[in-house]
Amino acid sequence: MESNNRIVVPGAENAMEQFKQQAASEVGVTLNKGYNGDLTSRQAGSIGGQMVKKMIEKYENDLKSQG
């Protein structure tokens, strides 16, 4: 099955990988380089949730600094 996860901004792959690693570390999940299909749904969801939380925080802070 092909993944639908595509990086929209060319060259952002490394930054996104670092962001994912940081989020995983913050929720106590160890990620391997490459394949991580052995993660539980809870672990994967925790990482994704942490990433979304950080993105929302950044967006809110950006809005504050503009206003």
Instruction: Specify if 54 maps to a domain.
Output: yes
How many domains does the chain fold into? 1
Residue 1 pLDDT exceeds 90: no
Q: Which domain holds residue 67?
A: 41-67
**pLDDT band at 64, cuts 50/70/90?**
very high
Q: pLDDT, tens digit, for every residue of 6-40?
A: 888 888 999 999 999 999 999 999 999 889 999 99
Instruction: Specify if 50 maps to a domain.
Output: yes
Its pTM stands at 0.81
Secondary structure of residue 38 in the 3-state scheme: coil
Instruction: Specify if 36 maps to a domain.
Output: no
Instruction: Specify if 15 maps to a domain.
Output: no
**pLDDT band at 3, cuts 50/70/90?**
low
Instruction: Specify if 57 maps to a domain.
Output: yes
Instruction: Specify if 25 maps to a domain.
Output: no
Distance between CA atoms of residues 40 and 46, nearest Å: 10
Name which of 46, 12, 42 is nearest 26 in CA terms.
Answer: 46
Residue 2 pLDDT exceeds 70: no
